[in-house]
Amino acid sequence: SVESNDVLYGGSNDYMEELQEHKATVMQEVISQLTELRESQDRAVKIRQAELVLQLVNQLIMTYKLDTAVTSFVIKLMELAKKSKDILPKKDLMLLESTTEILAMQPGTSA
């Protein structure tokens, strides 16, 4: 039988450290890509970037335990989204506001 990675590596400190490093790398790449979109001169691209950020933040807060790394990532994402606040359509502005309210209720966040 084939055992899952959790069974094989779940208790290994080296495995957990490597996993954290991969998570940090992925988070940084996501921030870089979304920041690059934000720098576009096209208003529609900026709006789409903010929508993607808000969707990602909402997925993260619904799916993950907000540990220090995820919380920091979410706060950076929200900072990106807030930069587009003045151009967001009403539905996205409402999502931004409700997401900010949800985050304010989470321990350790002040987005």
17-39 residue pLDDT tens: 888 889 889 989 999 998 898 88
From residue 26, how far is each of 48, 70, 83 by CA, in Å?
20, 11, 22
From residue 92, how far is each of 20, 30, 52, 95, 98 by CA, in Å?
32, 20, 10, 5, 10
45-59 residue pLDDT tens: 999 999 999 999 999
Residue 111 reports pLDDT greater than 60: no
Residue type, 1: S
Mean pLDDT over 3-16 rounds to: 72
Mean pLDDT of the chain: 87
pLDDT score of 2 = 65
